[in-house]
Amino acid sequence: MKNQRKYTIATILCLGIFILSGCTKKFEEFNTNTSAITDEQASTDGTLQVLLLQQAQKAIIYNNVGDYQVAENLSSSAFGGYFTPPTPFRSNSNNINYDLVPGWNNASWRLIYPNLMNPLTKIESTTKGNASLSGIYAMNKVLRVEGMHRISDLFGPIIYTQYNKANTEGGVDYDTQEQAYNAFFADLEEAKNALVPLVTANTPKSPIMVRADLAYGGSYAKWLKFANTLRLRLALRISKVNPTLAKQQGEKALDPANGGIISTNDESFIVQLGAPHILNTINASWNDTRMAAPIETYLGGFNDPRLGKYFLPAIDPTVAGQFKGIREGVDIISADTYKNYSALATVPPAAQLLTAAEAWFLKSEAALKGWANAGTAKDNYETGILRSFDQYGLAANATAYINDALSIPKQYIDPKALTPGINDVKTGSPYLSTITIKWDEAASESKKLERIITQKWIAIFPDGAEAWSEYRRTGFPILFPIVINKSGGVIPTVIPGTINTGVRRLPFANVEFDNNSAAVKRAVAMLGGPDNGATRLWWDKP
């Protein structure tokens, strides 16, 4: 891990290049619109709109390598069962064993507000009410929801509807997570209303949007499908806490009159970064991330051909040639112990944010709930697997995999544990799932849901933010508890009465307590519990 540098915010206009960076000191540089671009400048030829929109798309996955590492790789992606670091950061007392590092939480905050909310707020001010720019206005709305729901799903309450609106104290107020989600649905409704007429009329692509769009090349129809699929994702996210609203929003997303959802791989929302994916630096250059134990057991036990697409065989002499992951929260003295366990395969230079496979699994769960226009859970589930296999050039293997009724996750054995056997998860453990692949119509609703979510979890790799959110919402896939808990009793290793791991959210960024103190203290009160990693989010219900 490289030392985190101090950020200052600046707007640099030079030869058409716009650069905006974050700041960890000044509150207003996170939570207000500091861009000095005038409406006239932003609308002259669209160049600045293009740059602002591209900046926002890339910011969704934190396009600074050090910040991505602490904001996602060492939090969501670990808690979601994908990655574990071989490196004993902070003398092996860090997020991975629930000693949540306060400074690491700043990374999400300091990147998303100046690099996503700020440029999108400027775009909105120059496109709202302009019929000729309605597609860009819709794109802005969808990007805002895609980026900010991920932040809300980390912390809970966020600054969203009040962004760029100072309160009487000179700070900016938070929305509750419920208010934020209601605003997300409202923004997606606006986007849908703007895009449907453009698609219906077969309106020619906007030249500005074509230049700005890093995923769809300016296709209104694909942006509409992305908006609807995102709406379905969020509807399912709140299905425990507000099933009535969830059904209403989910059925709007599925209504074919509204444009449909993503169904084919060319409709997946994958942002082309124009540079190597930063996971490659964390993995290959820094040797700071490796396969996690749970994904080894699932992919290995299922004989899943995607295993070799995601990871490389280990080169450690004790497990050479095998795919071997590291269990979360193990005792690590030196990075040399586990650095030669399975590394990642090279990640393409793109941010995979919502795929066709995920869309079909969302639709499968919607069918399980009986939502209108959802089809059948079985057909959607099998199509989700097929889309994922096709995404990785493995379509020929899909039929045999889909019909495998015998393979189950394999046990986990760690030959390098400092205390022999302490890291193992063996057959018969409640933390080792016995789920199979083939759809079973006679299975319980819980088993059907586990099957859907487990395959979705495999398919959406390496999107740790979604993986952890869905794990917290559903309890699936079944993951391993950490071995050593260093939270001082704050976060349970396992939630009492369940087999679910204990970490449920990240504490608010400490920079907010320095610079927006009154507002963030009110946000803490919105949680219904203390500002720590054990408090459940609004949608996270038992």
The string of pLDDT tens digits covering residues 165-224 is 999 999 999 999 999 999 999 999 999 999 999 999 999 999 999 999 999 999 999 999
Q: What phi-psi label fits residue 381: left (phi over 0), alpha (psi between -120 and 50 degrees) or beta?
A: alpha
Average pLDDT over residues 426-449: 98
Q: How confident is the model at residue 64 (pLDDT cuts 50, 70, 90)?
A: confident
Distance (Å, rounded) from C-alpha 227 to C-alpha 74? 29
Location of structure tokens 């919502």: 354
Which helix H or strand E contains 272, and what residues bound it? Answer: strand 269-272
Cis peptide before 462 (omega within 30 of 0): yes
Q: With contact defined as beta carbons under 8 Å apart, do 233 and 181 qualify?
A: no
Find all residues with CB under 8 Å of 270, minimum gap 6, and list them: 215, 350, 351, 352, 353, 355
Q: What distance lies between CA 403 and its chain's CA centroid?
A: 29
Amino acid present at 299: L
- Residue 83, SS3 per DSSP: strand
Residue 172 has which token pair? Answer: 């900016």
Average pLDDT over residues 301-320: 99
Q: With contact defined as beta carbons under 8 Å apart, do 465 and 153 qualify?
A: yes
Which helix H or strand E contains 437, and what residues bound it? Answer: none
Average pLDDT over residues 435-464: 99
Please state which of the ranges 30-44, 133-147, 325-339, 384-398 shows the lowest mean pLDDT: 30-44
Residue 533 has which token pair? Answer: 């990693």
Q: How confident is the model at residue 7 (pLDDT cuts 50, 70, 90)?
A: very low
Is pLDDT at 369 greater than 80 in this prediction? yes
Q: How confident is the model at residue 110 (pLDDT cuts 50, 70, 90)?
A: confident
pLDDT at 40: 53
Sign, CA dihedral 370-235-437-309, equals positive
Q: How confident is the model at residue 482 (pLDDT cuts 50, 70, 90)?
A: very high
Distance (Å, rounded) from C-alpha 128 to C-alpha 161? 16
DSSP symbols for 138-196: HHHHHHHHHHHHHHHHHHSSBS-TTTT---TTSS-PPBPHHHHHHHHHHHHHHHHHHHH
Give me the phi and psi of 488, to 5 degrees please: 70, 30
Please state which of the ranges 65-69, 400-404, 453-457 shows the lowest mean pLDDT: 65-69
Q: What distance lies between CA 533 and its chain's CA centroid?
A: 18
pLDDT at 43: 53
- Residue 352, SS3 per DSSP: strand
pLDDT at 62: 74
Distance (Å, rounded) from C-alpha 212 to C-alpha 184? 22
Give residue-wise pLDDT tens across range 494-515.
Answer: 999 999 999 999 999 999 999 9
pLDDT at 181: 99
Average pLDDT over residues 527-540: 98
pLDDT at 44: 56
Average pLDDT over residues 236-252: 99
Domains of the chain, by residue range, sit at 11-526
pLDDT at 254: 99
Find all residues with CB under 8 Å of 51, minimum gap 6, and list them: 16, 17, 18
Distance (Å, rounded) from C-alpha 464 to C-alpha 479? 14
Average pLDDT over residues 420-432: 98
Average pLDDT over residues 246-260: 99
Q: With contact defined as beta carbons under 8 Å apart, do 363 and 380 qualify?
A: yes
Average pLDDT over residues 1-27: 32
pLDDT at 31: 55
pLDDT at 1: 60
Is pLDDT at 2 greater than 90 in this prediction? no
pLDDT at 3: 43
Is pLDDT at 357 greater than 50 in this prediction? yes
Q: At what angle do helices 356-368 and 243-254 cross, to 10 degrees?
A: 130
CB atoms under 10 Å from CB of 56, counted, come to: 27
Degrees (nearest 5) of the Cα angle 274, 113, 16?
Answer: 45
Distance (Å, rounded) from C-alpha 291 to C-alpha 424? 15
Sequence length of the chain is: 542
Q: What distance lies between CA 506 and its chain's CA centroid?
A: 14
If you classify domain 11-526 with CATH, what class do you get?
mainly alpha
Residue 346 has which token pair? Answer: 């090279």
Is pLDDT at 284 greater than 70 in this prediction? yes
3-state secondary structure string, 204-267?
CCCHHHHHHCCCCCCCHHHHHHHHHHHHHHHHHHCCCCCHHHHHHHHHHHHCHHHCCCCCCHHH
Is pLDDT at 339 greater than 50 in this prediction? yes
Average pLDDT over residues 268-284: 96
Average pLDDT over residues 401-425: 98
Q: How confident is the model at residue 8 (pLDDT cuts 50, 70, 90)?
A: very low
Distance (Å, rounded) from C-alpha 213 to C-alpha 208? 9
Q: How far is CA 109 from CA 22, 140, 150, 380, in A?
A: 9, 19, 11, 36
What is the DSSP pairing of strand 17-20 with strand 11-14?
antiparallel
pLDDT at 359: 99
pLDDT at 38: 52
Q: How confident is the model at residue 12 (pLDDT cuts 50, 70, 90)?
A: very low
CB atoms under 10 Å from CB of 152, counted, come to: 26
DSSP-derived letter for residue 494 is B
Is pLDDT at 39 greater than 80 in this prediction? no
- Selection from 205, 219, 222 nearest residue 260 by Cα: 222
